[in-house]
Amino acid sequence: MLRGNERVGKMSDPQLPWMNDEAVEAIRRDMIKFARLQLRDAAMAEDVVQEALVAALANGQDFAGRSALKTWVFAILRNKIVDHIRQQSRTTNISALAPDEESLDQSFETLFKGNDHWRPEDRPTNWGDPEEALRQQRFWDVFDACLNHLPENTARVFMMREFLEFETAEVCRELRITVSNCNVILHRARNGLRRCLEKNWFLGGEQAC
Amino acid sequence: MLSCKDVTHKLSESLDRELTLAERLQLEMHLAMCQGCRNFKKQMGFLRLACRRYMAGKTSSDSDT
């Protein structure tokens, strides 16, 4: 979906006509959605996004276009989110197993026979051409829903690793958990997400396998 | 000989660290014989790709999502 705003912004004068209220509002909406997913706290998400936006706009830097502003604002948002996670990790015990995490683990165990090989009916399926799914907006809606569906701490560790692109060792250090614990949590997250996508997208009749 | 369950752990870890040569050999031997785990491996690769694409969409205005 090319909107072409960026080119218009670049060719225009330094008044930055693309940076109207509407443009900033669009970025804000996008950021709030992301911050909510990451922090699971609507009020906190609003605060963090507000702080990030204010910091970005107050900086007075010349942005080459809306895309440059967005990248800049997201970099600030990323740091703010990390700060919040760091603070939270002091008061919550990430390695303690919550009931929803326990039930996800139990449901994973049922995929295997006694010898730890796949039950035929639970064998992972061929998802075909993944690029095709990534081009469809409906897929991203399902993806969002599946992320939201992950247990809170599981999602937090996964998103630090995959979205904020921390190295695993950094995730462990920030959240004060052991590497093996980190591995268990990431495995749980990937499996949960995999099964959710398989059930709700890939076997949902959108794609033959 | 790795079980399918072991393989899911190794494949997840391979996204976070470099596996040792011995681990890779064991993994390859299992994957050569197991369609389910080959599919699992592809699904893990897809998840990584989807997350990268998700973030790319978040940080550029010309999102292709």
pLDDT in tens, A141-154: 999 999 999 998 89
Q: Shortest CA distance to A20 belongs to which of A57, A73, A50?
A: A57
3-state SS assignment for residue A173: helix
| Cα→Cα distances A151→A55, A154, A186, B53, Å | 31, 5, 12, 22
Q: What is the number of structural domains in chain B?
A: 1
User: Is residue B63 included in any domain, yes or no?
Assistant: no
Confidence of residue A18 (pLDDT cuts 50, 70, 90): low
pLDDT value of residue B26: 97
3-state SS assignment for residue A69: helix
Range of the domain at B42: 4-53
Q: Shortest CA distance to A181 belongs to which of A87, A89, A82?
A: A89
B17 contacts in A (CB within 8 Å)?
168
A76 contacts in B (CB within 8 Å)?
none
- For A112, the closest chain B residue by CA position comes to B5
Per the model's pLDDT, the better-predicted residue between A17 and A113 turns out to be A113
Of A30, A124, A183, Cβ closest to residue B16? A183
User: Is residue B14 included in any domain, yes or no?
Assistant: yes
Mind listing the pLDDT tens digit of every residue in chain B (65 residues)? Answer: 899 999 999 999 999 999 999 999 999 999 999 999 999 999 999 999 999 998 887 766 544 33
User: Is residue B61 included in any domain, yes or no?
Assistant: no
Average pLDDT over residues A171-178: 86
Average pLDDT over residues A18-31: 77
Could you read off the pLDDT of A86-136 as tens digits, one per residue? 887 777 777 778 899 999 999 999 999 999 999 999 999 999 888 899 999
User: Is residue B43 included in any domain, yes or no?
Assistant: yes
Average pLDDT over residues A152-180: 89
